[in-house]
Amino acid sequence: MAEKSSVFDMIGPVMIGPSSSHTAGVVRIARAAIRVLGAVPQEAIITFYNSFARTYEGHGSDRAIIAGLLDFKTDDKRIKEAFDFARERGLKYTFKSVGNASTMHPNTIKLNLKADNREVEVVGQSRGGGVISIVEVDGFSSNFSATLHTLIIDADDKKGSIAFIASVLAHDECNIATMSVSRKGRNELARQFIEMDSGVKPVTLEYMKQLSWIKQVIYIPNIDL
Amino acid sequence: MSLLFNDFKSWEKHCAETGELLYQPVLAYEIEQKDRTEEFIWENIARAYDVMKDAVHTGLTEDMRSRSSMVNNGAKKVASSPVTVLSPEFKMLVSRALGAKEVNSCMGRVVAAPTAGASGILPGTLTTLQELHGLSDRSIHEGLLVAAGIALIIEQNASLAGAVGGCQAETGSAAAMAAGAIVYCLGGSVDEVFTAVAITIQCMLGLVCDPVAGLVEVPCIVRNASAAAIAFSSAQLAIAGVNAVIPVDQCVAALGEVGESMERKYKETAEGGLANTPRAREIENFVLVQDVEILPDEEGS
């Protein structure tokens, strides 16, 4: 049976208009992306695809994405003036529009972000009602909503690594909601995307980071918090 | 086990058997299904109502012009119009629903109730009702929970999304939620509350979602005003004992059926209805981004 809706899906969410998929969802994609980057970026290239490519200005999705990159929440009244805040914070940005990307969801955004010497590429879909899915990170395919607690782990592609990580999380009493593994080739680096119902303790994160075969751990608590 | 809001019949039966008021099983549902405390629910319902009041106020006091310029301070024009067509109260209702929805179109803060496109209807109706009848905030908060229960049932048996069921699913559902809440807040019986929902659905049935240039502006904003008026007319009929004839669950099923058979061009695609008029196409030219790189069609796929 599908998950039951909340009273606050009916009377809510509290959000900035005009539409949940063009504002709230867009803010969330950016909030997820800056957590992958680990900082508010200094430079951003934002590509709007398909339906978004034509409609993003009229619906204010350009302001929404900048607001999210500045870590504003979905109900923040400053979203409308996001461009002014970007200037103040020194965020440089470029918008691009691409249509007819037939393999992509109608409301897709690609973010290329830069902060100091770190760069990430994140592709997200705004799926309606403010719900998002992050479908690609640095070329690795993924599928997480970022409304639970998400772990992104880069590890050597070796036998038993998934079971090991799942066991470590179980010892921290984290219930895994979704998990996907993506690798670019056999025996190459694999990236694991794990969504959990509750947060991970710092000591557990630290432990995983110390393991020789784990190259990177990115932890993204619920992006609405 | 809490009531699951599968239909109006079981909600009515539950209240008849337990003697509970309509909002109580909604509260129990949220506590059980979503693991929330009663305190959390009342706090957040109060916050939602505060945001609604704030949106009404903003729409009537601040500059409300959208980037497309299709929205241009309509609520303030209504409120300050020298001509009162029906009554000062009616003018107040219409300007408030319009104002809260204009805030939504102009990137202000609103409560999606049930959706952003219908976000002026509950604020317009409930703030007006509260003022006219001197109701407490608590009473309105209970009414909002009743409205949420109504929406939960419509979501399950029809739809709340314009892209799925047309405008009737968005503004129609919001008007039904408002009408039910009005009758509840005025002390109507369970049967009268559900009759108000049924009559409202009968009035809103068939509305297509045909937004000009795809924006949540025209005709969404004026439909928020008319939906607020229909919520009041339905509440007046229901509380006076007028029979809806078709039971409320069957009205919801009809809403679902009409939504399902509606053509795609009338479901938020901006391809039919008002969105396909010559003037709408002109507006599209300056609203839509023109500098789009179009990828070639994939061959052999």
What pLDDT score was predicted for residue A116? Answer: 94
B116 vs A18, A54, A99: nearest CB: A18
HSE-CB of A142 using CA atoms within 13 angstroms: 31
pLDDT in tens, B206-261: 999 999 999 999 999 999 999 999 999 999 999 999 999 999 999 999 999 999 99
Residues of chain A with pLDDT under 50: 1
Interchain contact, B216 vs A18, CB within 8 Å? yes
Q: Which of residues 110-149 of A touch B (CB under 8 A)?
A: 128-129
Chain B residues close to A60, C-beta within 8 Å: 67, 107
Count Cβ–Cβ pairs < 8 Å, chain A vs chain B: 152
d(CA B26, CA B2): 9
When computed from its CA atoms, the radius of gyration of chain B, rounded to whole angstroms, is 20
Task: With a cut of 60, say whether residue B300 has pLDDT above it.
Answer: no
Interchain contact, B289 vs A54, CB within 8 Å? yes
Residue B155 sits at the chain A interface (C-beta within 8 Å): yes
Q: What is the DSSP string of A23-35?
A: THHHHHHHHHHHH
Residue B65 sits at the chain A interface (C-beta within 8 Å): no
Question: What 3-state DSSP class applies to A89?
Answer: helix
A17 vs B30, B105, B292: nearest CB: B105
Chain A residues close to B289, C-beta within 8 Å: 48, 53-57, 97
Residues β-bridged to residue A144: A134
The backbone region for B134, taken as left when phi is positive above 0, alpha when psi lies in -120 to 50, beta otherwise, is: left
Interchain contact, B30 vs A6, CB within 8 Å? yes
Chain B residues close to A75, C-beta within 8 Å: 109
Q: Which residues of A137-157 are buried (b: 16+ CB within 10 A; e: fewer)?
A: bbebebebbbbbbbbbbbbeb
Interchain contact, A18 vs B217, CB within 8 Å? yes
pLDDT in tens, B280-291: 999 999 898 888
What pLDDT score was predicted for residue B299? Answer: 54
Q: What share of chain A is helix, strand, coil (3-state, %, to 5)?
A: 30, 35, 35
Residue B129 sits at the chain A interface (C-beta within 8 Å): no
Q: Is the Cα torsion angle A184, A185, A188, A193 positive or negative in sign?
A: positive
Residue B287 sits at the chain A interface (C-beta within 8 Å): yes
> Can you list the alpha helix ranges (DSSP code H) found in B158-247?
162-165, 167, 173-185, 190-204, 220-239
Which tokens sit at A95? 């918008």
Chain B residues close to A13, C-beta within 8 Å: 111-112
Residue B106 sits at the chain A interface (C-beta within 8 Å): yes
User: From the CA of A31, how many Å to the nearest CA of chain B?
Assistant: 18
User: From the CA of B116, how many Å to the nearest CA of chain A?
Assistant: 6
B44 vs A5, A8, A60: nearest CB: A8
Chain A residues close to B162, C-beta within 8 Å: none
Residues β-bridged to residue A110: A47, A123
Interchain contact, A7 vs B287, CB within 8 Å? no
Mean of pLDDT over chain B: 96
**Whole-complex ipTM:** 0.95
pLDDT in tens, B55-112: 999 999 999 999 999 999 999 999 999 999 999 999 999 999 999 999 999 999 999 9
Residue B217 sits at the chain A interface (C-beta within 8 Å): yes
Chain B residue with minimum CA distance to A81:
B107
Most B CBs within 10 A among A3, A19, A197, hence the mutation to make, goes to A19
Cis peptide before B219 (omega within 30 of 0): yes
Q: Is the Cα torsion angle B158, B161, B166, B171 positive or negative in sign?
A: positive
Name the pTM for this structure.
Answer: 0.91
Read off the pLDDT of each residue in B200-208 and give the average, rounded to a whole number: 98
Most B CBs within 10 A among A10, A52, A59, A63, hence the mutation to make, goes to A10
Read off the pLDDT of each residue in B119-144 and give the average, rounded to a whole number: 98
What pLDDT score was predicted for residue A1? Answer: 43
Most A CBs within 10 A among B101, B295, B298, B299, hence the mutation to make, goes to B295
Residue B288 sits at the chain A interface (C-beta within 8 Å): yes
Read off the pLDDT of each residue in B177-199 and give the average, rounded to a whole number: 98
When computed from its CA atoms, the radius of gyration of chain A, rounded to whole angstroms, is 18
